[in-house]
C-alpha cells in the first residue's frame, strides 16, 4: 500500500497513461475508425463525420504529445531536454500533428467538399464540359495533394510514436 501511494506522487504512471493514450488513439483512428467509416457509411455521411472527427483527433494528438512530454520522468520536460533520443520523436509527433491540425486537415476537408460540389454540379449540367473538366481536375488535384500530405504526416507521426515507445522502454529497463 505504501508503494502504491509513493507511485501516485511520481510522474511515471501519468507518463505511461499519456503515452498509451497517444499511441492507442493514433492506432484506433488510423486502422479502425477511418477504415470502418469509409467502408460502411455513404460518402456524404462519411465526409460529414470526418470533417468533425479529424480536427478533434489532431488536436488530441497535439495535446497528448504535450502531456507526454510534460510528464516525462523523473523531472518533466527538464528530464526530456537531457534525453534527445526521447525528445526527437516527440518533437516529430508534435510537428506532424500540428501541421495536420492547422494546415493539412482543414485543407483536406475543404478540398473534399469542393470536389464533391464540383462533382455534383458536373452531374446536373449538360452544357460545356471542358470548363467543368478543368474544375473537376483542379478539385481532384487539390484534394489528392492535401489528403496525401495528411496521410503521410500521420504515418510519420505513428512511426515516431512507436520509436518513442522503444526509447521509453530502454529508459525503463535501465531503471530510473
pLDDT profile of the chain (176 residues), mean per 10: 88 97 98 96 91 96 98 93 94 98 96 88 67 84 96 98 97 83
Q: What is the pLDDT of residues 90-130, one digit of tens each?
A: 999 999 999 999 999 999 999 998 988 888 887 777 655 66
In a domain, 6, yes or no: no
Please state the domain count of the chain.
Answer: 1
In a domain, 131, yes or no: yes
In a domain, 5, yes or no: no
Q: Per the confidence metrics, is the pTM higher than 0.85?
A: yes
Burial of 114 (0-12, 13-18, 19+ CB in 10 A): middle
d(CA 91, CA 95): 6
Q: Which domain holds residue 85?
A: 11-174
* Cβ neighbours of 139 (radius 10 Å): 20
In a domain, 3, yes or no: no
Going by the DSSP 8-state scheme, the letter that residue 127 receives in this structure is S
Amino acid at each position: 500500500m505504501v508503494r502504491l501511494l509513493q507511485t501516485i506522487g511520481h510522474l511515471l504512471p501519468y507518463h505511461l497513461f499519456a503515452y498509451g493514450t497517444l499511441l492507442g488513439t493514433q492506432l484506433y483512428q488510423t486502422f479502425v475508425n477511418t477504415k470502418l467509416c469509409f467502408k460502411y457509411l455513404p460518402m456524404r455521411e462519411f465526409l460529414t463525420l470526418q470533417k468533425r472527427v479529424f480536427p478533434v483527433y489532431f488536436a488530441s494528438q497535439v495535446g497528448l504529445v504535450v502531456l507526454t512530454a510534460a510528464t516525462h520522468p523523473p523531472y518533466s520536460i527538464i528530464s526530456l531536454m537531457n534525453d534527445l533520443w526521447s525528445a526527437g520523436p516527440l518533437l516529430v509527433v508534435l510537428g506532424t500533428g500540428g501541421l495536420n491540425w492547422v494546415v493539412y486537415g482543414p485543407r483536406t476537408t475543404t478540398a473534399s467538399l469542393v470536389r464533391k460540389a464540383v462533382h455534383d454540379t458536373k452531374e446536373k449540367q449538360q452544357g460545356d464540359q471542358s470548363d467543368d473538366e478543368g474544375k473537376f481536375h483542379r478539385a481532384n488535384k487539390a484534394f489528392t495533394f492535401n489528403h496525401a500530405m495528411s496521410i503521410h504526416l500521420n504515418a510519420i507521426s505513428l512511426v515516431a510514436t512507436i520509436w518513442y515507445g522503444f526509447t521509453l522502454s530502454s529508459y525503463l529497463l535501465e531503471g530510473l
